């Protein structure tokens, strides 16, 4: 995901949870994704998601790549200081190769004999990433996608992406588990930082509404735009 935001406040002002909460939230949100997909039949893994052109199996493969990226980053500490935090990380312009990545993910997921093969890969990889996160120095730094982050901030970026993609993953699945509440708080804090101190989300939005509208999954209505004022032009805050 990439950011399309306007002015943003710093992460420290957003009220995000601390390092231990970030690790716990990552563990819980990955566990809920596992609970969502673990018992799905191949036919259910071929249901659509909110990510255009991606089936459940494709999005799960993308999430597995994210967990693999976490494993690599956490196993190779970087020298500080950080050059981004858990909010400014998302301000990097969208990668012009994202369209190619989407097609590559589809091809990779389709290469498995059965979609459940991707589930097995996820269930091997996600817990390993969580364990690595738990063993990482909370005062240390990691490098990921060309940026340097403090470990807790890096974990918060993983949580934010996982929460949004949990909502993407479950749009066509029957009775899926909801994202983990602490993880939702971290994702919401990220969006608050991107929205800035000069604007607030409409009072009638739930956290779910906020996550879906601020990431472009749902369109802004006319009342939304009126309530947001100038800030409506910053949406989506994340792509």
- Per-residue pLDDT of 66-124, as tens digits, reads 999 999 999 989 998 999 999 999 987 666 667 789 999 999 999 999 999 999 999 99
At 149, list the tokens: 């982050």
Does position 8 have pLDDT exceeding 70, yes or no? no
| pLDDT tens, position by position, 43-54 | 999 999 999 999
Architecture in CATH for domain 11-234:
Up-down Bundle (1.20)
DSSP string, 33-102: HHHHHTT--HHHHTSB-SSTT-BHHHHHHHHHHHHHHHHHHHHSEE-S--S--TTGGGGSPPPTTHHHHH
For residue 123 the two structure tokens come to: 């269930």
* pTM summary value: 0.91
pLDDT at 164 (0 to 100) = 98
| Contacts for 94-100: CB closer than 8 Å, 24+ residues apart | 94/2, 94/3, 94/4, 94/239, 95/2, 98/2
pLDDT in tens, 12-44: 434 444 666 899 999 999 999 999 999 999 999
Instruction: Kindly report the average pLDDT of the chain as a whole number.
Output: 90
Query: What 8-state DSSP symbol labels residue 38?
Result: T
Q: What percent of the chain has pLDDT over 70?
A: 90
């Amino acid at each position: 995901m990439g950011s399309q935001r306007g002015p943003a406040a710093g992460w420290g002002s957003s009220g995000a949870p601390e390092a231990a909460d970030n690790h716990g939230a990552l563990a819980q949100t990955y566990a809920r994704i596992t609970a969502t997909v673990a018992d799905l039949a191949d036919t259910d893994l071929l249901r659509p998601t909110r990510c255009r052109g991606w089936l459940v199996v494709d999005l799960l493969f993308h999430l597995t790549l994210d967990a693999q990226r976490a494993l690599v980053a956490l196993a190779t500490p970087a020298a500080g200081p950080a050059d981004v935090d858990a909010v400014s990380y998302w301000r990097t312009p969208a990668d012009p190769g994202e369209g190619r990545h989407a097609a590559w993910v589809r091809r990779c997921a389709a290469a498995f004999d059965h979609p459940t093969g991707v589930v097995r890969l996820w269930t091997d990889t996600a817990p390993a990433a969580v364990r690595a996160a738990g063993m990482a120095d909370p005062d240390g730094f990691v490098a990921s996608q060309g940026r340097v982050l403090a470990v807790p901030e890096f974990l918060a970026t993983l949580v934010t992406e996982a929460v949004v993609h949990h909502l993407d993953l479950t749009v066509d699945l029957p009775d899926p588990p909801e994202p983990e509440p602490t993880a939702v708080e971290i994702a919401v804090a990220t969006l608050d930082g991107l929205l800035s101190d000069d604007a607030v989300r409409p009072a009638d939005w739930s956290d779910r509404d906020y996550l879906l509208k601020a990431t472009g999954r749902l369109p802004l209505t006319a009342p939304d735009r009126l309530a947001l004022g100038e800030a409506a032009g910053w949406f989506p805050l994340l792509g």
